Chains A and B, each alone.
Chain A
Amino acid sequence: MIQNIVRWLTDPEHWSGSEGIPARLGEHLWYSGLALAIAAVLAIPAGLAIGHTGRGRFLVVNLAGAARAIPSLGLLYLMVLWLFPKLSGDVAFLVPSLIVLVVLAIPPIMAGAYAGVEGVDPAARDAAKGMGMTGSQVLGRVEVPNALPLIFSGFRSAALQVIGTTTIAAVAGTGGLGRFLIDGQKIREFPQMVAGALLVAVLALLVDLLLAVAQRYAVSPGLTGRSRGRSNTPKVVEIGALRRTVDPQAS
């Protein structure tokens, strides 16, 4: 069995053409990336605004809770049934999947941004205001830089989920690594299915690693405890607790 999988993965035929691994990988990244970008553009400003003003907390809490209950596959079928007749061409396949992915990605990203701003030391916020920063300066110069660890945390959680879920988008006729699973199942070629699943897992891990590296460079050493000396123990504990609330998969 394992030999068959290795044979399938190493077959040069599977590494070329529009149905080869590189092409499917590119599609997978394109769908996931597009969905994450759209979700981030919508959810980060919303989360920051809620954290900054303190208004609309209930929205984040309920959204994060409700998101856990969404059956991705069910939602996908619903979108296809609803949108397919209204659209044409490639877009007809792409848009329903994209909507599902964006809907999945928004709650963790928004919760991360909100929890990050909410968790900023009130004394730092008070000092920022008291020194004459305007509301947007407080947000941009104090709240966002301090919220970055949790913003990243939410985004990474969303990225994992989206990359995983992009696989089932193949059911709706799109490309991506999910094709190997769906097509493999149709012709009962198990090595192809397992290879597809492996590729998705590896992709997800690689993307998370990349984001972890980006986080390391983006977040101030003053927040990560990477700087020598005393670390701020309560804050670390707090981030751990919040991480659980922003990461629906971890519960």
Chain B
Amino acid sequence: MIVFDGVTKEYPDGTVAVDHLSLEAPSGKITVLVGPSGCGKTTSLRMINRMIHPTSGTITLDGKDTGRMKESELRRGMGYVIQHAGLFPHRTVLDNVGTVPRLLGMDRRETERRSLELLERVGLPTAFAKRYPAQLSGGQQQRVGVARALAADPPVMLMDEPFSAVDPVVREQLQDEFLRLQGDLGKTIVFVTHDIDEAIKLGDQVAVLQVGGHLAQLADPAYLLAHPVNDFVADFVGRDRGYRALSFQPTPHLPLAAESTVSLGERVSDRDDGWVLVVDGDNHPLGWVQAERVRGEVTTEMLHRGGTVARASGPLRGALDAALSSPSRRGVIVDDSGALVGTVKAHEVLTAIEETARPELVDADHPGASSS
């Protein structure tokens, strides 16, 4: 656990970058620091590994004052990932990943074995091992950066906008894989971003910082979206926060309707309103067809693929989107194996939404929602 206790950073010219920051980053969880530029989020992060020294206050790591630890040793125990990866251009990918193990005195062969394993873990082919950073794309470099930070298996990871310099598609991939990786590894992570969507997607708890280094609100993402503590936080979390909050609402018991289906190669009977769901042999939905337009057997080319599919155990956002995007207006719901369980209409999802409890407003002294 990392604990900030009244941490202030003031520069000689009087600029206050961080103002009496107190917060806890619990072990095994992702704590996201988010805010506009100038809010002191990066400064706060860099004070954890003492790349920047606090003017006052203390930061403790598992109860030990980081200010009393040897800086190089403190840093070797924390993975560090930065915006442009910061790979060493003169070293191969493999040697980059092995940097910290080598610093810690691990022998060369063991380091290489571990580095190769980590490359696979972050989704890079081991053929990349002998390449140099200049031969990789931005997203690939960032993966190497993450592998390098994980190489010595540190309990703590500090990540400073690691995914913000790559294009949106790659960013989403990296985020998903990062969450999967964290599911396996359970590191104590402090993650800095200016992107509230990224914060909400990745954070177990989100700290919203305000210009001047004030902590505006610290809460889990669902709570943050439901109860912004002030106008600044409300503005910062954005306009479509009501819809986004649905991401955190697990689907309750939706009234699912049975759906008549047809398999590829079969003929459509004209019993329905026109839209019929096509499934494959395993009852996995493939798409919709309009009955009156089908002459003869159903083929792949006839499929309307516009509708999304939601998992029954997934969040309400998926169910609503499935209903809204379906050409038949009936949202397709599947089980965890991807097999059809039924369909649901938008108004039914909305009724379900109305019946769900919003995160309850709690007192300011509640640990999940402290504010200053």
On A, residues with C-beta under 8 Å from B are 121, 123-134, 137, 142, 145-146, 148, 219-223, 225, 227-232, 235
A133 near B72 with CB under 8 A, answer yes
Residues of chain A with a CB closer than 8 A to B113's CB: none
Point out the residue from A126, A130, A131, A222 that lies within 8 Å of B89, measured CB to CB: A222
Closest to A125 in B: B86
Residues of chain A with a CB closer than 8 A to B298's CB: none
A227 near B75 with CB under 8 A, answer no
7 A-B pairs closest in CB distance: A127-B86, A222-B132, A132-B76, A229-B135, A132-B75, A123-B86, A220-B90
A123 to B191, CA, bound (A): 17
B84 near A123 with CB under 8 A, answer yes
A225 to B135, CA, bound (A): 9
CB distance from B189 to the nearest CB of A (A): 15
CB distance from B348 to the nearest CB of A (A): 51
Residues of chain B with a CB closer than 8 A to A223's CB: 89-90
A121 near B82 with CB under 8 A, answer no
Residues of chain B with a CB closer than 8 A to A142's CB: 88, 90
The answer to whether residues A130 and B49 also contact, given A228-B135, A229-B131, A230-B134 and a CB cut-off of 8 A, is yes
Contact with A along B331-346 (1 / 0, CB 8 A): 0000000000000000
B135 near A130 with CB under 8 A, answer no
Number of A-B contacts (CB under 8 A): 97
A230 near B135 with CB under 8 A, answer yes
Residues of chain B with a CB closer than 8 A to A145's CB: 88, 90-91
B99 within 8 A of A: yes
Residues of chain B with a CB closer than 8 A to A121's CB: 84, 86, 89
CB distance from A122 to the nearest CB of B (A): 8
24 A-B pairs in the complex with CB atoms less than 8 angstroms apart: A121-B89, A124-B86, A124-B88, A125-B86, A127-B85, A127-B87, A128-B88, A130-B49, A130-B80, A130-B158, A131-B148, A132-B72, A132-B76, A146-B89, A146-B90, A148-B90, A220-B91, A222-B90, A222-B91, A222-B132, A223-B90, A225-B134, A227-B131, A235-B89
Residues of chain A with a CB closer than 8 A to B136's CB: 230
Which B residues from 63 to 113 make CB contacts under 8 A with A?
71-77, 80, 82-92, 99-100, 103
Closest to A127 in B: B86
B100 near A232 with CB under 8 A, answer no
B132 near A221 with CB under 8 A, answer yes
A223 to B133, CA, bound (A): 9
Closest to A219 in B: B90
CB distance from B139 to the nearest CB of A (A): 13
Secondary structure type dominating chain A contacts:
helix
The answer to whether residues A123 and B85 also contact, given A134-B72, A145-B90 and a CB cut-off of 8 A, is yes
A132 near B134 with CB under 8 A, answer no
Residues of chain A with a CB closer than 8 A to B103's CB: 131-133, 137
A223 to B91, CA, bound (A): 9
CB distance from A118 to the nearest CB of B (A): 15
Closest to A134 in B: B72
B350 within 8 A of A: no
B135 near A227 with CB under 8 A, answer yes
Residues of chain B with a CB closer than 8 A to A137's CB: 103
B80 near A131 with CB under 8 A, answer yes
B170 within 8 A of A: no
Closest to B151 in A: A131
Contact with A along B155-175 (1 / 0, CB 8 A): 000100000000000000000
Closest to A231 in B: B134
Point out the residue from A133, A219, A222 that lies within 8 Å of B92, measured CB to CB: A222
B185 within 8 A of A: no
CB distance from B90 to the nearest CB of A (A): 4
B82 near A126 with CB under 8 A, answer yes
A130 near B131 with CB under 8 A, answer no
Which B residues from 295 to 342 make CB contacts under 8 A with A?
none
Point out the residue from B74, B84, B91 that lies within 8 Å of A132, measured CB to CB: B74
A191 to B212, CA, bound (A): 78
Contact with A along B215-228 (1 / 0, CB 8 A): 00000000000000
Contact with A along B123-164 (1 / 0, CB 8 A): 000000001111111000000010011000000001000000
Residues of chain A with a CB closer than 8 A to B181's CB: none
A220 to B49, CA, bound (A): 30
Question: In this complex, which of B74, B82, B158 has the most chain A Cβ atoms within 10 angstroms of its Cβ?
Answer: B82
The answer to whether residues A222 and B134 also contact, given A133-B103, A145-B90 and a CB cut-off of 8 A, is yes
A130 to B148, CA, bound (A): 12
CB distance from B325 to the nearest CB of A (A): 38
A219 to B132, CA, bound (A): 13
